[in-house]
């Protein structure tokens, strides 16, 4: 027996968070009975329907995508802007794991594995995310030390992170800085630099856990190997414990 929202997420229909919303809003039926509470457990023989559609399990799919600029990190967009799902062709109900800003590029994982997605974005997992930011002005070692220790954004002090100055372009007065986080607040990297008086001109995520952009150009994607999927599961389960 498993919780209903987990079963829905594992089927690839949507994320666990979205499944919880569907349940609470009365969109889900189990064996013909509407369910509006999150504590309900079901077994493999339960007939689950969402908005009249019978839930079916589908093969899991894991895609590593090099997200370009000016693309929405979502399944759909009310303003009809291009989304990551528009660029990654799949017959599965895949969705992005976490988010990258509209103008941020780099590593993005898409999957229909709700369990893995939930584990990867959980604050308890502390999955590393490495970014390279191009910022205005001369970002110095003292600034890096302050940022690495933690800065206040939106009334919250960020956790310790790794900050490395890659190079300073004196001619254009910009600095390239590598930041590795183990948390994922909204617009966190940009806000951290802003807290120290620096504006982010460009931002690229170069690593998510151990996954990199090697072999990919902007807009391209590849499927993860079985070994990589197992490694992701192993990573988040170790962090969780």
- Classified as helix, coil or strand, 181 is strand
- Please answer whether residues 153 and 146 qualify as being in contact, where contact means their C-beta atoms are separated by less than 8 angstroms: no
Output DSSP code: residue 75.
S
Both tokens of residue 55? Answer: 């839930």
3-state helix, strand, coil split of the chain in percent (to 5) is: 25, 30, 45
Q: For 150, left (φ over 0), alpha (ψ -120 to 50), or beta? A: left
List the catalytic residue out of 101, 103, 142, 214: 101
Those residues with Cβ within 8 angstroms of residue 152's Cβ, 6 or more apart along the chain or in another chain: 158, 195
Cα(35)–Cα(22) distance, integer angstroms: 10
Q: Give the CA distances from residue 42 to residues 7, 21, 29, 169, in Å, rounded to whole numbers and listed in that order.
A: 8, 17, 11, 59
Those residues with Cβ within 8 angstroms of residue 19's Cβ, 6 or more apart along the chain or in another chain: 4, 5, 6, 8, 9, 13, 28, 114
**Residue 91 annotated among the catalytic residues of the structure:** no
Active site residues: 101
């Amino acid at each position: 027996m498993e919780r209903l929202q987990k079963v829905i997420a594992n089927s690839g229909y949507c994320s666990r968070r979205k499944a919880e919303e569907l349940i609470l809003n009365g969109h889900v039926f189990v064996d013909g009975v509407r369910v509006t509470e999150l504590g309900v457990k079901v077994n493999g023989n339960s007939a689950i329907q969402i908005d009249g559609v019978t839930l079916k399990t589908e093969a899991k799919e894991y895609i590593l995508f090099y997200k370009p600029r000016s693309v929405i990190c979502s399944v759909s967009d009310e303003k009809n802007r291009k989304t990551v799902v528009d660029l990654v062709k799949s017959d599965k109900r895949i969705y992005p794991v976490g988010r990258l800003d509209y103008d941020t590029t780099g590593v993005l994982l898409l999957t229909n594995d709700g369990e893995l997605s939930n584990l990867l974005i959980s604050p308890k997992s502390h999955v590393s995310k490495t970014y390279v930011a191009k910022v205005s002005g001369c970002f110095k070692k003292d600034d890096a030390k302050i940022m690495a220790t933690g800065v206040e954004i939106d009334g919250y002090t960020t956790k310790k992170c790794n900050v490395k100055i890659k190079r300073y372009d004196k001619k254009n007065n910009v600095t390239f800085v590598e930041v590795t986080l183990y948390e994922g607040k909204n617009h966190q990297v940009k806000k951290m630099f802003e807290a120290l008086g620096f504006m982010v001109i460009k931002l690229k995520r170069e690593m998510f856990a151990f996954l990199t952009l090697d072999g990919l150009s902007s807009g391209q994607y590849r499927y993860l190997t079985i070994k990589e999927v197992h490694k992701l599961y192993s990573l988040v389960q170790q962090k969780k414990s």
